[in-house]
Amino acid sequence: MFVRKKLMCVIFSIIVLFTIPGMSFADESDSPKEDKTLAPYFLVDGGSSLVERFPLKDTRVKANINGVIADVYVTQTYVNNGEEPINATYVFPASTRTSVHGMKMTIGGHVITAKIKERKTAKREFEQAKAEGKSASLLEQQRPNVFTMSVANIMPEDEVNIELHYTEMIIPTDGVYQFVFPAVVGPRYSNQTEANAHETDKWIKSPYLEEGNTPPAKFGIDVTLTTGIPLQELRCTSHEVDVSWENKSAARVSYTDSEEFGGNRDFILDYMLSGKEVQCGLMLYEGEDENYFLLMVQPPERVQLEDITPREYIFVLDVSGSMHGYPLDTAKVLIKDLIGNIRKTDKFNLILFAGSSQMMASSSVPAVDENINQAIKLIDGQQGGGGTELLPALERALSLPVDDGFSRSVIIITDGYISAEKQAFRLINDNLNKSSFFSFGIGSSVNRYLIEGMAKAGLGEPFVVTKPQEAPATAGRFREYVELPVLTDIKVSYNGFDAYDIEPPNIPTLFAQRPIILFGKWQGEPAGSIQVSGISGSSNYVHDIQVSKAQSNEDNSAIRYLWARERVARLTDYGVSRDNPKAGEEVTSIGLKYSMLTPYTSFIAVIEEIRNTEGQSTDVAQPLPLPMNVSNLAVGGGYSSMSEPGILVLLALILSIVPAIFIYRKKFAHK
């Protein structure tokens, strides 16, 4: 009897183990903090009814796009409708190309222009103001595309407006210009513990609303577009928008929340100029202490190569919990198209990863129908579940034996919801001699820092697919890019033009039909020429730009911020300068000089009046909505309830134990 009871307890324990949700909640367990994994959680509001739990009430975006430069103002409104003072923290995204160079805070009739300071200094001043009962705000960069806003001592009935000002450049690809405003940060998977987490990783432990729930906050965006050249096409693929035309080259695009919440996905605006003409040329700006220039050169048309080196494609597909449902369905359409259209002279392999990884074959196989069908069958069986361990999957891909007769490309397909971005960049950087890297972001609000960073670090191209119907065209572009580069061996020379501090210092192979972009400084007279050369197919390419034809213009003042952002990106974003001990000092100096948000500088605004005289306040973390089409499986370790594979495993386990139950029952029935 004792053995039988013990066996039943074991079975019951197994069932409980498989069926308890894997998500974490606000009312977490009493396990030691050092044992807790850093992870997002679902909000369980069991706090005081006197405390306002959703202080962010409105986000308004005004973007002015003039030519290729976007000037953007974001206004966030916080309102304390509760009865106690609160301190609010909010995580929000931005474009990876954003240069944030201004912040203002308005509260209780006070308008304070924030100051840029070293990160640690700004944090210390904010905490001091918070403790003293002063209203204050702190803007910090956690990733190039993830920021945190902290607002201290929001008193009952207070309305706080925080205005951010940033600049970014719109770079066309294949004649299409795209302005993206990311509206929500997706939940990040992390396997590190809270106790060992770096300061810039602690935002990962953020509260989320469950799937289908939307916050009470509103979201709106207005874009004024002026191109100087007639627009051929203007479309917004992410939101239903109103478009009003001033003339053929100027339009206003607006989205205002109505019944549908628009703040759970990227706002994506695409436009093309007549004849697919791309705005190129040289722009100059004479500053008070330094002069800046921006050069855009349109590369040659893609040429058809007669002899294409055989290719080896290694597909690395994310099948984790955050990919469950719509994202994985989209990825399946994409990868089936990619694999199904490989040339017979090529070969491929497939690695599926979540908490662990599964490889189709020990070495890459020929792209024959039998192998392609096997790969598609393997993909079709995936449902999505578990964590997102990208690094081991990449290491496994890179460990595959190399065939010198093939040009290898690693294609990573994921939503990018991981926290170990820089580790991935470093791994890719360290293996550039083995492969080029291409990345596909899948979903309505992907981690563009990871998607763009992996491609940039790997000298490849990034792609983003938001809908299944976009997959075939995107796959076609990839095949064209990887097989037929536009320009290789690119070099830039300056003749009679005293240029320095050029960004980027080197230009990799140009896969896409997009302009070559250079930022730099110059001194002396704006004279001489700039020459861009390279190899297009089997021909030499040379393009000369006469500097004297360009005029310095005060309207070009944004170039200084674009140059600064490009320099900071090279030093910090993708880990290429990780061995340079002076990189942090240089980035700090740039941030302070240009009044710009960086990993080492933050914006701080403090109202000197002591408004919270009682000194008591409650810390509130503003919950985020899940990105559109992302399920609950994305939060808390990758699964919140049993996935279909988990159910099958549990059933198999139970069925395997049932015979043992009868054996034991029969054996002990006589005792």
Indicate whether 667 pLDDT > 60: no
Q: 149 and 67 share a domain? A: yes
DSSP 38-66: ---EE----S-TTS-S--EEEEEEEEEEE
Q: 168 and 236 share a domain? A: yes
Identify the DSSP state of 294. Answer: E
Q: How many domains does the chain have?
A: 2
Indicate whether 193 pLDDT > 80: yes
Least confident of 303-307, 325-329, 453-457: 303-307
pLDDT tens digits, 369-385: 999 999 999 998 898 88
Query: pLDDT grade, residue 36 (50/70/90)?
Result: confident
Closest Cα to residue 166, out of 56, 59, 265, 69?
69
| Rounded mean pLDDT, 136-141 | 97
| Rounded mean pLDDT, 540-549 | 92
DSSP 566-633: HHHIIIIITSTTTT-TTHHHHHHHHHHHTT--BTTEEEEEEEEEE--TT---EEEEPPBPPPTT--GG
Query: pLDDT grade, residue 122 (50/70/90)?
Result: very high
What does pLDDT average to over the chain? 85
What share of the chain in percent tops pLDDT 90? 56
Please identify, among 483, 502, 519, the residue that sits at the C-terminal boundary of a domain: 483
Q: 321 and 405 share a domain? A: yes
Residue 568 within any structural domain of the chain:
no
Residue 386 vs residue 494, higher pLDDT = 494
Which CATH number is 454's domain given?
Answer: 3.40.50.410
pLDDT tens digits, 210-223: 998 888 889 999 99
Q: 225 and 96 share a domain? A: yes
- Contact 597/144 with Cβ under 8 angstroms? no
Q: 334 and 264 share a domain? A: no
The whole-number pLDDT of residue 343 equals 85
Indicate whether 3 pLDDT > 50: no
Residue 268 within any structural domain of the chain:
yes
pLDDT tens digits, 241-258: 999 999 999 999 999 876
Residue 543 within any structural domain of the chain:
no
Q: Is the peptide bond prior to 504 cis by the omega test (within 30 degrees of 0)? A: yes
Residue 300 within any structural domain of the chain:
no
Indicate whether 611 pLDDT > 90: yes
Indicate whether 463 pLDDT > 60: yes
The whole-number pLDDT of residue 449 equals 92
Residue 175 within any structural domain of the chain:
yes
Q: 437 and 351 share a domain? A: yes
Structure tokens at 658: 């049932």
**Which residues on adjacent β-strands are paired with residue 292?**
285, 521
Please identify, among 416, 448, 483, the residue that sits at the C-terminal boundary of a domain: 483
Residue 104 within any structural domain of the chain:
yes
Indicate whether 113 pLDDT > 80: yes
First-to-final CA distance of the chain: 8
| Rounded mean pLDDT, 180-184 | 94
Structure tokens at 504: 């980027």
SS3 state at 526: coil
Residue 638 within any structural domain of the chain:
no
Residue 111 vs residue 572, higher pLDDT = 111
Q: 249 and 333 share a domain? A: no
Indicate whether 116 pLDDT > 90: yes
DSSP 129-161: HHHHTEEEEEEEEEETTEEEEEEEEE-TT-EEE
Residues 6+ apart with CB under 8 A from 32: none
| Rounded mean pLDDT, 529-555 | 89
Please identify, among 414, 448, 483, the residue that sits at the C-terminal boundary of a domain: 483
Residue 176 within any structural domain of the chain:
yes
Least confident of 484-488, 504-508, 644-648: 644-648
Indicate whether 625 pLDDT > 50: yes
Q: Is 175 left (phi over 0), alpha (psi -120 to 50) or beta?
A: left
Q: 223 and 347 share a domain? A: no
The whole-number pLDDT of residue 510 equals 87
Residue 349 vs residue 306, higher pLDDT = 349
Indicate whether 147 pLDDT > 50: yes
Q: 87 and 203 share a domain? A: yes
Q: 447 and 356 share a domain? A: yes
Least confident of 128-137, 287-296, 308-317: 308-317
Chain centroid to Cα 110, Å, comes to 35
Query: pLDDT grade, residue 22 (50/70/90)?
Result: very low
Phi, psi of 582 (to 5 degrees): -95, 0
| Rounded mean pLDDT, 558-579 | 82
The whole-number pLDDT of residue 653 equals 43
Indicate whether 650 pLDDT > 60: no
Q: 222 and 124 share a domain? A: yes
Q: 325 and 461 share a domain? A: yes
Instruction: Look up the domain containing 363 and give its range.
Output: 311-483
The whole-number pLDDT of residue 664 equals 40
| Rounded mean pLDDT, 285-296 | 94
Indicate whether 661 pLDDT > 60: no
Closest Cα to residue 401, out of 433, 373, 363?
363
The whole-number pLDDT of residue 577 equals 54
Which CATH number is 607's domain given?
Answer: 2.60.40
Indicate whether 11 pLDDT > 60: no
SS3 state at 359: strand
Indicate whether 670 pLDDT > 50: no
The whole-number pLDDT of residue 4 equals 47
CA dist 128 and 268 (Å) reads 40
The whole-number pLDDT of residue 457 equals 86
Query: pLDDT grade, residue 46 (50/70/90)?
Result: low
Least confident of 43-47, 68-72, 98-102: 43-47
